[in-house]
Amino acid sequence: MPKCLGTSPTSPPPSSLLLFSSKHFLSDMPRAVRGLLIECDPSIKSMILKYDEERHDYIVEDLDDENHLVIKESQLQNLKVRLDQDLDEKIMQLDESESE
């Protein structure tokens, strides 16, 4: 076995050190996430931020202005469906309250 720097006769073999190091570093490495830049009204942005607080499913980055977010590309369709459902529900509630 080739000699490695920093090893001693009592230290584990280098492959064990590499395995341990690999596990440690891989868990701390950033992961790339494909995202989409979206522009929306501040009210819609606040709804998306609220959804994301629950499970962190949607937002990659909040761009600190009133109407821009980077969201996970894979979640775009789910987000649209959820927004449509909630907005339809709010519109129906408004219609009901106006008719009373």
> CATH topology for 36-98?
Alpha-Beta Plaits (3.30.70)
This prediction's pTM: 0.65
Residue 70 contacts residue 59 (beta carbons within 8 Å): yes
DSSP codes, 41-68: -HHHHHHHHHHHHHH--SEEEE-SSSSE
Residue 26 is predicted with a pLDDT of: 54
**Of the ranges 8-12, 23-27, 48-52, which is most confident?**
48-52
Q: What is the pLDDT of residue 36?
A: 93
Q: What is the pLDDT of residue 65?
A: 85
- Average pLDDT along the chain: 77
Q: What is the pLDDT of residue 11?
A: 42
